[in-house]
Structure 1
Amino acid sequence: MTQTTTVSADPASAGAGSSSPASAVDHAAPVGAEDFSLRFAPRHYRRWTPAAVAASALGGIAYLADFSIGATIGVQHGTVNAIGGVLIAAVLIFISSFPLAYYAARFNIDLDLITRGSGFGYKGSIITNLIFVSFTFILFATEGAIMAQGLKVGLNIPLWIGYAVSSLMIIPLVIYGMKLLSKLHSWTNPLWLVMMFVPLIVLVIQEPGSVGTFLDYTGQDDKSVSFAAMMLAAGVCLSLTAQIAENIDYLRFMPPKTAANRKSWWAAVICGGPGWVVLGAIKQIIGIFLAVYMISVLGQETDIAIEPVNQFMSEYNQMMPGWLATTLAVILVVISQIKINTTNAYCGSLAWTNIYSRSFKKYPGRVWFVVFNVGISLALMEFNMFSVLSFVLSFYSNLAIAWIFTVAADIVVNKYLLGISPKVPEFRRGMLYDWNPVGLISVALSGGISVAMFFGAFGDGVAAFSPLFAALIAVVVTPVTAVVTKGRWYLRRSDDGIDLPMFDADGNPVDDRLTCALTGESCERPDMVASALPGPDGGTQYVSSLALTLDMSGEHVLPAEPPTE
């Protein structure tokens, strides 16, 4: 077999050396400008330290929806039930997110690529991408509405104009992907932390009695402590399960794990991955506290108490003049909205691009989908989705849990405990079957049954437990289906036709370069696969995962290997 390693090729030379018509692959957007949105994140591009990657991932969770979620469930169920729900959700999210974060950081691929090889197949993960992209525009709309509320309070700007401002200002910030977002979060994280937590500490010191009032609060309907109420509260919080997919879009840029950086690498993966839920739970509990303080101590209306901008103003008013309190509250809301909605727009654009490219074999560029995702979010704002936020999030949590727990179960149980699913995540076209019943059946059953349960199909008494059943069904069905199908539908091929090793001595993806026969681009070995067509000299030629995705002819896709019994 002829093997050629090439060190560098200019992406602008796309099309050079192609052995098939140029029209077979759509190159509407320069690959290098797209932040590797459809593929493995190459080693030469990943120049950030573990701490920088973790900071970027955590910077994206500066959203204020946590405060509103906490306030809402606190008002509905009382402090103890709400805190119980927050903690239950946090534990479940941490457990399910950990294996996904590790795989993203270790193999440098996003959650869609992980999902492909973890029970869903090359095209099957399109379904889960639709679940994830829904999360990005729901959260974007929530945060945009919160910013619009802040602009109305601070500057008397009508809500509909505030919705437009909060949406359109995000688009130019997202165009350049990880490079700009990393700088944005590193610059704003310290300011955000100070403005978020210092006023709270001052408030508690000045009014220590507010803590007792907070702990004694039983909600607007004077509810007693019960596990059912905690699960209703947890159902709302669990809607944020899909947040790990956004963090993974940053974690895929982690540097290689070595003996020298092992401790910092693991710390960054845990903090920037499942660790987000610790800060998220703290924010939700603070949201409960501030809502109770405003209702019980300041005598505010419930509708006002659940809006974050008013919560922050209640803190700041204890420390400074009213005009300054209002100004700082609006600034905090704007900073938070920019930090999270740049991430929502960025991650949503990646998901839409993945869906479109595999469905239509075209690649119009990630920027188009930034605009598209922001447009959907703006429409949700204008239709006042914020007024039914608790219901939307409770419903959505069932689908998010079904997806995340299915992938987590495949990694932990099917890959490591049973050895049925291949340990190394595969994502390349031709290497995977288009559809794998393991993940598809699990999501269909866990998501379908839990949603039916949520709407009362099995009685009102169990409706509150639909998120738990979604997780339980996914964890059980995923390995059972893998056993029944004997792992038949995971790999279409086990050999990608390339003799170079995939990993170095430390188990990290290597950075050897090969030239793509379709585009002339120099790509790293983990992103490449041998072409089914020989080169002009009769030797082996190679195709990148993106070029193969967009190859309309399919003539470069390697044939399937005969099934083994």
Structure 2
Amino acid sequence: MATRQRILRIRRDYNRWVADESMEDYALRFTAESARKWSAFRVANTALGSISFLALEAIGGALTVAHGFTNSVAAILFVSVLIFLASLPICHAAARAGVDIDLLTRGAGFGYIGSTVTSLIYASFTFIFFGIEAVILAAMLDSFFGVPLWLGYILCAVVVVPLVTHGISFISRVQTWTQPVWLLLNVMPLVALLVANPDWIEGWTQYEGERGTGGFNLLAFGAAASVLFALITQTGEQVDYIRFLPPRERQKPWVWWGALLAGGPGWIAFDVLKLLAGSFLAYAALRAGLSVAEAVQPAEMYRLAFGYLLASPTLVLIVTSVFVALSQIKINVTNAYAGSLAWSNFFSRLTHSHPGRVVWLVFNIAVALLLMELGVYNTIEQVLFVYSNVAAAWMGALVADLAINKPLGLSPKGIEFKRAHLYDVNPVGVGAMFLSVIGSFVAYYGFLGALAQAMSTFIAFGIAFAAAPAIAWATGGRYYLARKPRAAWAQRSGLHCVICEHEFEPRDMAYCPVYTGPICSLCCSLDARCGDGCKPHARLSAQIMTPLRAALPEGVIAALLTPVGSFMLVFLSFAATISLVFLGIRAQTPASAHLDTAFWKAFFVLLVIGGITAWALVLARQSRLVAQEEPRRQTSLLMSEIRAHQRTDAALQKAKEAAEAANMAKSRYVIGISHELRSPLNAILGYAQLLERDTAIPERRRDGLRTIRRSGEHLAALIEGLLDISKIEAGRIELYRDEIRFPEFLDQIVQMLRLQAEAKSIAFTFDPPERMPEVVHTDERRLRQILINLLSNAIKFTRAGGVTLRLRFRSEVAEIEVIDTGIGIAEDDLARIFEPFQRGANSHAPSTPGVGLGLTITKTLVEVMGGDIAVWSRLGEGSRFRVRLLLSGKALRPVEAERPITGRQDAQRPLSVLVADDDAAHRALVRDLLEPLGFVVREAADGAECLALARQEAPDLYLLDIAMPGMTGWELAQRLREAEGERVPILMVSANALELAPPREGQHHDDVLPKPLSLPALLEKIGTLLGVTWTFADPAPALPAPGTARLTAAQATGLRQLAAIGYVGGLRERLDTLEREAPEAAPAIAELRGYISEYRLDAFLAALPQEAPDA
């Protein structure tokens, strides 16, 4: 399984910067259809800006002076036709595919690395002709204004840079602004010259040149044509603009074809006129008395012509200067732009790096400037003669593939330019070009005679044109595509690159198995780490080794792959290259024994240098391979480990899903069981509250009722605790700000937990503070839960001794301590007892029920309430838990005793309540509560019955259970609201806490209450909804504060006598009797009970009053 590599952030930022197409102008990639936003006319006009270069006049003039009118014009016309025919398929294919000349060459027979050579040829053309134009302008500045040539070269080079940085978007504006002015200045002086000297035309046509060859001469024609054929590379510059033509489908056919012909191959038609103009102007300059050197200078030509148009010499000088400068700028923005693209393509494949097209723009201009300063352009005719052979070989193979191979099916349709889909070298184009160059240079150096030497450029073109189809047929065209693009992507509008994360059209994307995702052509070209994992068979090394393994024994192959064998191959390559260079130089120099000796010495010196360089390269490569092998091996191990982790993660994910499913099932069970428990508990608590309010109940039975109610409330709290577990797991706990009568609250807790302690025959002691607030504000249910959890745990793990609840206040911060004499907690367990499902590891601990969530819930609740919890413990001695919470109190306000409701002040007003619940016990409870208070209660077992009763009667309040068979309470509330509007309030009741949230589509009720019902809370909400004013019973006398009421001396006497003889059973019965007779002494009696339960009779006796206060 392939794993996507991690791409460092700096790499992503780098690629994003290069992806700024306002400056990059789609270098290294095809021109997206979305970027072809200019009109066909504007693109063609921009491309035609290249016809302004004055080198054409210089070449036309130089050829005419050298070979005469007949040979020069014949060569001009013949080469122009040939270039037009060759340029047409090139420009057409580039415009359809939206690719520059380099990308076109890749897909038309040369391959990804094979087209590197042609990029170098093309880049050379751009800086050669950039230099020619700059030299023309610099010569004019020197001649007209005395500017030194070296400074003129710099000025001519630098002025172009800011015009080209933003590509065609700015170049098109430059060409549009300057085109009319340039055309006017180009045509008017020629017309003036012809009008003034019509007879010069005849003299021009009869001019035989300085060599006086007379008539047509094949050798002179061939020499002139070879120089002119170097202009075929100009087609590449036209392609760099034509690729921006809008798609043919979005244009009218005649508009699209007109723009293509004008801006593409049509450039040569305009250039023919300029070549002929240069030929005529050179003759006119000679006729006017200028020297041969001056006659071939475009600046001198046009100064002569403007002299016939303008009378003022100063004005002639100014206008000529403007024209020459304008021409030079118009063509050199194109030369510089095309050169920046060529160098970008060249270096990106060799170095897998692309600092940006603007960098190569400056580099291209710097190379041209260097050659100008070195004076290379003084021998430009010879340079162009040699260059035209190489350019012809390239163009011949390219044209053959587009015009012959593709129509005949010898190569795939379309142009594939992406590295991921191409062989590094395609033998069709590279092989044809190699054969062509060899043949043409054999002819050029005179081995085939003078005629072949003169026609070497055409020999180069012809060999390449013929060899490309032959090689394509011989290889079956299998070296064009290393793999096919994904057909399904063609239907998509765009894809995101996994490296730079930009979106590109599908034609610019390839699937990368190394990065396991789509990758754009730019990121693919610049990647140096993938090792061509998508096409290992198409790498250059594999293409070389495959035929060698088939032709040579395995032992020879192994020897060649050793460091020595690699050195011999590299050294022989250097030696061959040095030999060819020296042969070429020697062929251009006269024979001389001294020169031969110097050449041999230089040759051997270079061989030594080449040998040293070869060893350095081979050893560096070996070091690099070793360095790469270690990371590759480590990466392989890492990937194996990653796959193992992935398998483990998959197993963990399955286990996690199973655990989550089990947890969800548990949560559903908890919710379901809590609902089932709440329904009967609602009846228990409800009737317990009703019975407590019944004055007919004997006082001796009220303690039992209170115990029933408190136990029921405890059970309800336990149910809430179960739901709290689910809430804690979901990270969702709600807090409420309740007003608690604190002494009564603590008394309930103490009485409840004292029963548990007595059941285990251990003492339970409550140590209250000296001063305690009557009322505190906090969440009553959460505080109760904290205290019960801690005290229950302490009682559970205490075998002998006792449990103490100690309370202290510091300002409004309550410090609650639960101290026990139990088994204690090991020091290692103290850190984990608060974790879910964790219990102490004490082997002496008694087997007690529990799942290990009590302390987890306690700690979570304490922290949520803004407090903290701490624990100290020693094995065998006991534990001490301390909780600190903010309990803001109201100590100064007297607390009113709770008064039961006895009726309504407006009892004469009839009020009816319609109760809808499928639980008959709940309906009966509500009826028993409300009917004594003057309410008429109607009952319905389900939603349908409720709707029927609502139509028959007009209740004042609806009390609806949420979970009913058939129609739910929410649905019933919606139906009632739709029928009656907001007139009658609706109170929702449910035993399921999770059902209390209304559905999302709307709220159709006024309030909600959970089961089991708190009767005071129910009456309070009914009073609010119906505007009822309640009547209350007289308040019960307030109990004295804990510890203030004492037994009388007479009461204490009987207790002292029983304690003296150790009759514990009698003491308990006597205390029960005293509690019924003197309820105001209940706190003192409770304290005495604690001593009895601990069998501390000495403390019991000490707590009794010594004398009667009324004595």
Q: TM-score, normalised by structure 2?
A: 0.47
Instruction: State the Cα deviation string for residues 211-241 of structure 1 (Å, max 9, x = none).
Output: 1111110001211222321121111111111
Residue of 260, 278, 286 corresponding to 1:269: 260
Please tell me whether the aligned partners of residues 548 and 557 of structure 1 are also in contact (alpha carbons under 8 angstroms): no
Query: 1:156-167, aligned counterparts within 5 Å?
Result: 156-167=146-157
What is aligned with 2:504? 523
What is aligned with 1:362? 353
Residue of 286, 290, 304 corresponding to 1:314: 304
Distance 1:61 1:512 in 2: 38
Residue of 274, 289, 293 corresponding to 1:283: 274
What is aligned with 2:316? 325
For CA contacts below 8 A with separation 6 or more, give which structure has more relative contact order.
Answer: 1
Instruction: State the Cα deviation string for residues 387-406 of structure 1 (Å, max 9, x = none).
Output: 21111111111111110111
Please tell me whether the aligned partners of residues 24 and 553 of structure 1 are also in contact (alpha carbons under 8 angstroms): no
Q: Which amino acid aligns with 2:486?
A: G
Please tell me whether the aligned partners of residues 147 and 166 of structure 1 are also in contact (alpha carbons under 8 angstroms): yes
Please tell me whether the aligned partners of residues 498 and 529 of structure 1 are also in contact (alpha carbons under 8 angstroms): no
Distance 2:425 2:279 in 1: 44
Distance 2:370 2:250 in 1: 49
Query: 1:472-511, aligned counterparts within 5 Å?
Result: 472-494=462-484, 496-497=485-486, 499-501=488-490
Structure 2 residue 525 is the aligned partner of structure 1 residue 549: yes
Which consecutive unaligned segments of at least 5 residues does structure 2 have? 544-1111
Relative distance call for 1:433 and 1:306 in structure 2 (3 A) is same
Please tell me whether the aligned partners of residues 109 and 398 of structure 2 are also in contact (alpha carbons under 8 angstroms): yes
Residue of 289, 295, 303 corresponding to 1:299: 289
Q: Which amino acid aligns with 1:123?
A: I
Query: 1:30-429, aligned counterparts within 5 Å?
Result: 30-32=18-20, 33-224=23-214, 225-258=216-249, 260-295=251-286, 297-320=287-310, 321-417=312-408, 419-429=409-419
Q: Which amino acid aligns with 1:416?
A: P
Please tell me whether the aligned partners of residues 426 and 432 of structure 1 are also in contact (alpha carbons under 8 angstroms): yes
Q: Kindly state the Cα deviation for residue 457 of structure 1 after the two structures are TM-superposed.
A: 2.6
Distance 2:355 2:406 in 1: 35
Q: Which amino acid aligns with 2:529?
A: S
What is aligned with 1:12? none
Q: Kindly state the Cα deviation for residue 533 of structure 1 after the two structures are TM-superposed.
A: 4.7
Please tell me whether the aligned partners of residues 514 and 530 of structure 2 are also in contact (alpha carbons under 8 angstroms): no
Instruction: State the Cα deviation string for residues 415-444 of structure 1 (Å, max 9, x = none).
Output: 112x01111100111201101111111111
Q: Which amino acid aligns with 1:406?
A: A
Q: Kindly state the Cα deviation for residue 294 of structure 1 after the two structures are TM-superposed.
A: 1.0
Instruction: State the Cα deviation string for residues 52-76 of structure 1 (Å, max 9, x = none).
Output: 1111111023110000000000000
Distance 2:60 2:281 in 1: 9
Q: Kindly state the Cα deviation for residue 312 of structure 1 after the two structures are TM-superposed.
A: 0.2
Q: Kindly state the Cα deviation for residue 385 of structure 1 after the two structures are TM-superposed.
A: 2.6
Identity percentage of aligned residues: 36
Please tell me whether the aligned partners of residues 35 and 178 of structure 1 are also in contact (alpha carbons under 8 angstroms): yes
Q: Specify the SS of the correspondent of 2:398.
A: helix
Please tell me whether the aligned partners of residues 58 and 298 of structure 2 are also in contact (alpha carbons under 8 angstroms): yes
Please tell me whether the aligned partners of residues 24 and 552 of structure 1 are also in contact (alpha carbons under 8 angstroms): no
Please tell me whether the aligned partners of residues 121 and 434 of structure 1 are also in contact (alpha carbons under 8 angstroms): yes
Q: Specify the SS of the correspondent of 1:254.
A: coil
What is aligned with 2:786? none
Instruction: State the Cα deviation string for residues 509-554 of structure 1 (Å, max 9, x = none).
Output: xx8111111111011111111221576xxxxx31111011112222
Distance 2:201 2:515 in 1: 73
Q: Specify the SS of the correspondent of 1:543.
A: strand
Distance 1:28 1:547 in 2: 10
Please tell me whether the aligned partners of residues 112 and 424 of structure 2 are also in contact (alpha carbons under 8 angstroms): yes
Q: Kindly state the Cα deviation for residue 45 of structure 1 after the two structures are TM-superposed.
A: 1.2
Please tell me whether the aligned partners of residues 188 and 309 of structure 2 are also in contact (alpha carbons under 8 angstroms): no
Q: Kindly state the Cα deviation for residue 557 of structure 1 after the two structures are TM-superposed.
A: 5.0
Q: Specify the SS of the correspondent of 1:456.
A: coil
What is aligned with 1:514? 495
Distance 1:282 1:231 in 2: 20
Deviates more, 1:285-294 or 1:148-157: 148-157
Relative distance call for 1:444 and 1:23 in structure 2 (3 A) is farther
Please tell me whether the aligned partners of residues 511 and 519 of structure 2 are also in contact (alpha carbons under 8 angstroms): yes
Q: Which amino acid aligns with 1:415?
A: K
Deviates more, 1:385-394 or 1:342-351: 385-394
Please tell me whether the aligned partners of residues 68 and 307 of structure 1 are also in contact (alpha carbons under 8 angstroms): yes
- Quote the RMSD (CA, aligned, Å): 1.9
Deviates more, 1:350-359 or 1:452-461: 452-461
Instruction: State the Cα deviation string for residues 97-128 of structure 1 (Å, max 9, x = none).
Output: 11110011111001111111111111110010
Q: TM-score, normalised by structure 1?
A: 0.91
Instruction: State the Cα deviation string for residues 470-498 of structure 1 (Å, max 9, x = none).
Output: 1110111111111111112111012x235
Structure showing greater radius of gyration is: 2
Q: Specify the SS of the correspondent of 1:530.
A: strand
Distance 2:7 2:308 in 1: 70
Q: Which amino acid aligns with 2:512?
A: S
Q: Which amino acid aligns with 1:501?
A: A
Q: Specify the SS of the correspondent of 1:141.
A: helix
Q: Which amino acid aligns with 1:239?
A: A
Aligned residues: 531
Distance 1:30 1:500 in 2: 25
Q: Kindly state the Cα deviation for residue 30 of structure 1 after the two structures are TM-superposed.
A: 3.0
Q: Specify the SS of the correspondent of 1:425.
A: coil
What is aligned with 2:534? 558
Relative distance call for 1:498 and 1:546 in structure 2 (3 A) is farther
Please tell me whether the aligned partners of residues 203 and 318 of structure 1 are also in contact (alpha carbons under 8 angstroms): yes
Which consecutive unaligned segments of at least 5 residues does structure 1 have? 1-16, 503-510, 536-540
Q: Kindly state the Cα deviation for residue 560 of structure 1 after the two structures are TM-superposed.
A: 6.4
Higher strand share: 2
Q: Specify the SS of the correspondent of 1:123.
A: coil
Q: Kindly state the Cα deviation for residue 258 of structure 1 after the two structures are TM-superposed.
A: 2.1
Distance 2:361 2:305 in 1: 35
What is aligned with 2:849? none
Distance 2:368 2:16 in 1: 26
